[in-house]
Amino acid sequence: MSANKFEMKKSYWILLGFIIVAFIVYRVVSIFLDKPAEERVPPVVRTMTVDETRRENVASYPGEVRGKYETGLSFQVSGKIIRRDVNLGDAVKAGQVLMEIDPKDINEKLRAAQAAHRAAATQALLASENYERYESLYRQEAVSTMVRDQYRTQHEAAEAQLAEAAANLSAAENEMSYTVLVADHDGSIAAITGEVGQVVAAGTPVITMVQDDGREIEIHVPENHVGAIHPGDPATITFWALGDVTAHGRVSEISTMADSVTRTYKVRVAVDSFPRDARLGMTAKVELRGKESGSILVPQSAIYQRGDVTQVWLVEDGKARLRDVKASSYEGDKVKITEGLNQGDIVVTGGINKIAEGEEVRMEGSVFK
């Protein structure tokens, strides 16, 4: 009985040992054998498609209707304004009287100049007669050369004094004419800064006058955009007060110096045909279309920088490809690309850190305009 039990235990331990050895062999084999490669799911990236419309510089600015030629009229002499003959918006003709200052003080100067001129004329006449008399005596050898020369010098001095008095009289007469302010050309009154009773200095503008031969739109361009605008660039003007009536024109003038306060540059836009109801001072929206620059704007998230090399990821035939590009400047949250991209290129704008060269990718994007 004991022999049978011993045989059963022996068989049990043999079976258990076989099972343990088999398990160990299985684990060793499973460790060293190659596992089947797991299939990698292509990453999803956000993309944009380069569109041709981004190659043109387009910008909008608020503007104001201004006269092409605006003149600030002022008196050439100081005085107190005693009369104003025009109102704001009046149409005037060349030579029409606009304002007048009190001429009393200048009239006294004129009277003094007239009196001085009469006195100088009398002295000149006397000196001339004396000189002629002594010249005749000199020819008769009745007086010496010295006496003759003395009266000739007096005559010449009197003539010079007469010329000086005549010049002073002419200046006084001019000052009297300057007491009346007249229009020097046809136009309309755009602003009046002088009123009756106001004392103004010579050269102080009292009336702003706009000539009839043209109106323009004035806009102010930031310093970082003025380099993209050139004389002759086409413009589209929209007049808000006229129910979005539009007109076409071109850039005519660009200031070379920025305003010291706003740091913007004054730009004038000539309009081909002004709407009949467009009046001075009206606001307008000016859309400038600059010359084609050959540059394309992409989001900053699309830029892949490696040292000094700027690159972007493109999707070509469903796979990611790196391409070198040339970036020139920033415009807000976008980068201006001047070389390396073409119309129709698909640029990766999101997920560039999880893709590799030649890797298959899935796109989720739309055309960028």
Query: Helices in the chain by DSSP H: which ranges?
Result: 2-32, 104-139, 145-177
CA nearest to 299, candidates 227, 351, 238 = 351
**Largest pairwise CA distance in the chain:** 197
Confidence band for 172, pLDDT divided at 50, 70 and 90 = very high
Q: What's the average model confidence in pLDDT over 9-20?
A: 73
pTM greater than 0.85: no
Query: Can you give the pLDDT at residue 119?
Result: 95
- Render pLDDT for 250-279 as a digit per residue (tens, 0 to 9): 999 999 898 888 889 999 999 888 888 888
The CATH number assigned to the domain with range 70-98+184-209 reads 2.40.50.100
Share of the chain above pLDDT 70, in %: 88
Give the least confident one: 35-44, 89-98, 190-199, 332-341: 35-44
The CATH number assigned to the domain with range 59-67+214-289 reads 2.40.30.170
How far, in Å, CA of 165 to CA of 117, rounded?
A: 5
Query: Can you give the pLDDT at residue 4?
Result: 62
CA nearest to 47, candidates 342, 299, 338 = 299
How far, in Å, CA of 232 to CA of 253, rounded?
A: 9
Candidates 1.10.10, 1.10.287, 1.10.4040, 3.10.28; correct CATH number of 104-177? 1.10.287
* Cβ atoms of 49 and 302 closer than 8 Å: no
- With a cut of 80, say whether residue 51 has pLDDT above it: no
- With a cut of 90, say whether residue 69 has pLDDT above it: no
Greater pLDDT, 283 or 53 = 283
Q: What residues have CB less than 8 Å from 5, skipping those under 6 apart?
A: none
- Render pLDDT for 119-150 as a digit per residue (tens, 0 to 9): 999 999 999 999 999 999 989 988 899 998 99
CATH 2.40.128.20 is right for the domain spanning 46-55+294-367: no
Confidence band for 286, pLDDT divided at 50, 70 and 90 = very high
What ranges do the domains of the chain cover?
46-55+294-367, 59-67+214-289, 70-98+184-209, 104-177
Most confident range (mean pLDDT) of 72-81, 203-212, 244-253, 358-367 is 72-81
How far, in Å, CA of 128 to CA of 333, rounded?
A: 89
In Å, what is the CA distance from 169 to each residue of 100, 101, 104, 125, 179? 21, 20, 16, 18, 16
Give the least confident one: 16-30, 61-75, 157-171, 264-278: 16-30
